[in-house]
Structure 1
Amino acid sequence: MTRLGDLERAVMDVLWDSVPATSDGVTVREVADALAGRELAYTTVMTVLDRLAGKGMVQREREGRAWRYRAAGSREAHIAQLMLDALDLGGSRDAALVRFARSVTGTEADVLRAALASEAAGGEPADRGGDSLTGRIEAPATDQVARPTAADEAADR
């Protein structure tokens, strides 16, 4: 799973927070406007979105001369995959899970118990996102279209 840098995470947060999965996505300009407090150049946002597309984190579609971007997977799926990757770093996976379980709050433990019970019963996990605690994490889509050029993106400005 791809770990995200600070700026990549900020861009993904814009996509996860403001773009419904059913929408056509947003343009580079719309993402740049949402990150206005960071005073980023348009080309910086364009580069970050291009790199995220290369990593399979975002999907993009051509709309005229511009591109529209949307997250390839949910925030929850990304976080779950990061957690699974952390478990694979070495050492005892069981010991890491036990230590994690001991660190969660009572409410979080209840959520985990309910998800595990639902999984054991063969049902949909309690998170409503369809992710499983056993590793069937929603993978980012890897379908990509050609990379935009600076001239293509200029039309989006």
Structure 2
Amino acid sequence: MTRLGDLERAVMDVLWDADPGPGGGRTVREVADALDGRELAYTTVMTVLDRLAGKGMVQRERSGRAWSYRPAASREAHIAQLMLEALDLGGSRDAALVRFARSVTGTEAEVLRAALADSAAPADRTVPANFVADRQD
């Protein structure tokens, strides 16, 4: 998964924060208007969205004469993928996981415990479409 630059991240935040509503996507104009405090040309925002589409970060579809953009995956799925990629950067994935586990707060540790217990429970659940299983357990 691609790490995002500052402007790409701002654009993705607009899309992630948008109410999916009817149609579910946002036009270039809507994204540009939502980028508070940034005076960006329409063509700049259009280029960023086009590049994000090329990277697989957004999906687009025709909405009249314009394109409508929506995130290809949730913010949480993106962050989870970044965390998995960060684990692959070091020498020992186990050591990095232990260090991470020791650095989380009590509440965060409880969330992790519950998630691990839930994933260990046998069930006939389908895997979410945005889940990337590139590890071997």
Which TM-score band (shorter chain)?
0.7 to 0.9
User: How high is the TM-score relative to the length of structure 1?
Assistant: 0.77
TM alignment of 1:2-151, pairs within 5 A: 2-20=2-20, 23-123=23-123, 130=128, 136-137=131-132
Query: What is the count of residue pairs matched by the alignment?
Result: 132
Q: For residues 60-108 of structure 1, what are the alpha-carbon distances to aligned partners after superposition, in whole Å with 9 as ceiling and x for unaligned?
A: 0012211000001000000000000000113000000000000000000
Quote the sequence identity (%). Answer: 80
2: CA distance between counterparts of 1:57 and 1:120? 30
2:90 touches 2:96 (CA, 8 Å); kept in 1? no
Change in 2 beyond 3 A, CA 1:93/1:131: farther
Whole-Å separation in 1 of the counterparts to 2:124 and 2:33: 37
**Structure 1: which 5+ residue stretches go unaligned?**
139-157
Question: Which protein, 1 or 2, shows the higher relative CO under an 8 Å CA cutoff with sep ≥ 6?
Answer: 1
Aligned partners of 1:21, 1:123: CA distance in 2, in Å? 32
* SS of aligned partner of 1:118: helix
Q: 1:137 Cα shift?
A: 3.1
CA RMSD of superposed structures (Å): 2.4
Return the TM-score normalized by structure 2. 0.88
